[in-house]
Amino acid sequence: MRVNLLAKRYAEAVFEIAVESKNVDRIAEDLKLVYKVFDENRELKKIFANPVIDSAKKINILNKIFGDQGKISDLSIRFLNLITRKGREMYIMGICQAFENIYLEYKNIVRAELVTAFAPGKEIRESVISKLKAITDKDVELHEITDDEIIGGFIVRIEDYQVDASVANQLKKLSKSFAGNLYEKQF
For the segment 86-120, what is each residue's pLDDT rounded down to a tens digit?
999 999 999 999 999 999 999 999 999 999 999 98
What is the per-residue burial (b if ≥16 Cβ within 10 Å, else e) of 77-90? bebbbebbeeebbe
Task: Reply yes or no on whether the pLDDT at 1 is more than 60.
Answer: no
* Entry pTM: 0.80
User: Residue range 20-44: average pLDDT?
Assistant: 95
- How much is the pLDDT for 175? 84
Task: Reply yes or no on whether the pLDDT at 182 is more than 90.
Answer: no
Q: Please choose, from the candidates 179, 176, 12, the residue with its C-alpha nearest in 3D space to the C-alpha of residue 94.
A: 12
List the strands of the sheet with 153-158, edge to edge.
Answer: 139-146, 109-116, 153-158, 161-166
